[in-house]
Structure 1
């Protein structure tokens, strides 16, 4: 069995960021919205750095204006995931983009996404759950509105709450109310940290938001005492190596810290973040990690089990997924 054929668990995927460029171009043409400036001559997304990437991301998202757009997007994204062997995924969803944080509108968008996920489960064999995510640089007040949307729709599909966006805007404690609201609604908690800011930001996030998982978190490697703390706490890192390398945080795969983090006992998982922006897929991530660190199928089986244990889904779903993983990995 090749790495592509192995069943995979993915915990860190932005739905809009996973939109194939051709899908976004087609939608813009249908709606007669000119966003041609966000593509290069080959039709790929084009950006200069992380902060320009955020602007291009939001421009691409601007053509997604109806629940049906998100229905179609979800199917397109899940088709690509399933082609790479993903049997279970969690995706970040933001009421900021889906209905402007209006609860009634958010319910309509969410229903369309859930319907698409149900179709994909039957036709493609992939299960999806949603992590509601405010956008950090939109500010704490809007994050509170997002948290209310999350709490009001928590259930079988919406199972988690996180935060994404520009890490350099605001402090983790500014969002404590939103995370407390989500936690009280029974949602699993994750938070982006340790991507563009260092160990102190990771510590502040752990203290203020108390997540069980952390998006990225890789810059913990700059403080080995923090690495050991993450290992002791059992905090699961949603690591996206291809994203970190494409954005210039690390120069190449061999110098990415995921290998060191894994060796020091930190619970790491592997995801793609915004795959078409970074010219990656989960198969490519696995292939490159195997080359860089001589990881074999046994290591990837461990990563899968870590991801499944950390997944924000119910026990029955985990048991079903576990059987599929056991059949593949032995």
Structure 2
């Protein structure tokens, strides 16, 4: 029996299967063979190299139709893992180079591709993201695109990229723009920087959720604060382990954070890069921490409660989490 799952932290381009990107590059005579290893997987040995490989892979995605095809491929993979609802990060920088008209075309293509999956049991919503290492000016441009397309499908604004670039406050204007448009907010923090990065992000960007956030465990006062505030962490254990942040599943802090009352969720981040799926994340967590079905269902419910979708959508998805739907 496969438990239904809720995923809140999935980069659309980062979820592209290597074979899909290779095929697309071949169709367009784009030479990116250097990003794959001898087994055809993405090849990188550090976070900075991962970012370069990620952006090289994304270079094969050049049209709205490419993103429509990508969306179908990603949702097929997610559905196979039992995902009932997913929020995916998509960036105006990658989808149209920050041009509003082009961004609207890309969003339309992604939405159209996702629509047929809803009756089949998996609902997709979008979170527009700025790319931190592209700088604050580009972040404002991304926020402007997000503002103009906010609604029932594009439900949030966030920030990914290299956490070691700049400070959260540098991007506050972009986040203020998104907030004024009614978008919910999330940002990567506490992955490559320590607990202070989580504090600064919550204070300066006033986000609803934190992407990763696991290094909060290094400051138990912050852990208590997160628990008291009810701040949700979008934890991606397989990603953290693959990138060397932790040496193995039993050393990952998600269990301790949960034990101390922090609202944790489980996602895959960039699953083919890290050789993971949502089903595999659940299996590894059950093995590492003896999490049973009841615990995993509670994690999924926490994620649904923290989802940025409207109440009607949340109520509909909740029915998919009931035991009879597993």
**TM-score by structure 2 length?**
0.99
Structure 2 stretches lacking a partner, 5+ long: none
1:164-195 CA-partner distances (Å, limit 9, x unpaired): 00000010000001101101111111110000
Cross-structure match for 1:267: 263
Whole-angstrom CA distance in 2 between matches of 1:202 and 1:142: 22
Cross-structure match for 1:95: 92
TM superposition shift of 1:328:
4.0
Whole-angstrom CA distance in 2 between matches of 1:328 and 1:308: 17
1:289-326 CA-partner distances (Å, limit 9, x unpaired): 00100000010111011000000101111111111212
Cross-structure match for 1:313: 309
TM superposition shift of 1:210:
1.0
Cross-structure match for 2:64: 67
Q: 2:198 aligns with which of 174, 185, 202?
A: 202
Whole-angstrom CA distance in 2 between matches of 1:19 and 1:202: 29
State whether residues 213 and 235 of structure 1, in contact with CA within 8 Å, keep that contact through their aligned partners in structure 2.
Answer: yes
Q: How many residues align?
A: 326
TM superposition shift of 1:204:
0.6
Q: How does 1:139-154 map to 2 (within 5 A)?
A: 139-154=135-150
Cross-structure match for 1:287: 283
> In the alignment, does 2:46 pair up with 1:34?
no
Whole-angstrom CA distance in 1 between matches of 2:213 and 2:324: 29
Q: Secondary structure at the match of 2:143?
A: helix
State whether residues 6 and 328 of structure 1, in contact with CA within 8 Å, keep that contact through their aligned partners in structure 2.
Answer: no
Q: 2:174 aligns with which of 163, 175, 178?
A: 178
> In the alignment, does 2:290 pair up with 1:303?
no
**TM-score by structure 1 length?**
0.98
Whole-angstrom CA distance in 2 between matches of 1:241 and 1:324: 24
Cross-structure match for 1:22: 19
Structure 1 stretches lacking a partner, 5+ long: none
TM superposition shift of 1:329:
8.0
State whether residues 7 and 328 of structure 1, in contact with CA within 8 Å, keep that contact through their aligned partners in structure 2.
Answer: no
Whole-angstrom CA distance in 1 between matches of 2:265 and 2:114: 23
> In the alignment, does 2:109 pair up with 1:112?
yes
State whether residues 134 and 143 of structure 1, in contact with CA within 8 Å, keep that contact through their aligned partners in structure 2.
Answer: yes
1:192-249 CA-partner distances (Å, limit 9, x unpaired): 0000000111111011011110000000000000000000010000000000000000
1:115-168 CA-partner distances (Å, limit 9, x unpaired): 01102223x421000000000000000000000000000001100010000000
State whether residues 3 and 297 of structure 2, in contact with CA within 8 Å, keep that contact through their aligned partners in structure 1.
Answer: no
Q: Report the aligned-residue RMSD.
A: 0.9
Cross-structure match for 1:214: 210
State whether residues 319 and 325 of structure 2, in contact with CA within 8 Å, keep that contact through their aligned partners in structure 1.
Answer: no
Whole-angstrom CA distance in 2 between matches of 1:200 and 1:312: 25
| Cα distance change, pair 150–229 in 1 and its aligned pair in 2 (3 A) | same
| Cα distance change, pair 250–328 in 1 and its aligned pair in 2 (3 A) | farther
Q: Secondary structure at the match of 1:268?
A: strand
Cross-structure match for 1:77: 74
Whole-angstrom CA distance in 2 between matches of 1:160 and 1:25: 30
Whole-angstrom CA distance in 1 between matches of 2:232 and 2:324: 23
Whole-angstrom CA distance in 2 between matches of 1:23 and 1:294: 35
Whole-angstrom CA distance in 2 between matches of 1:39 and 1:313: 36
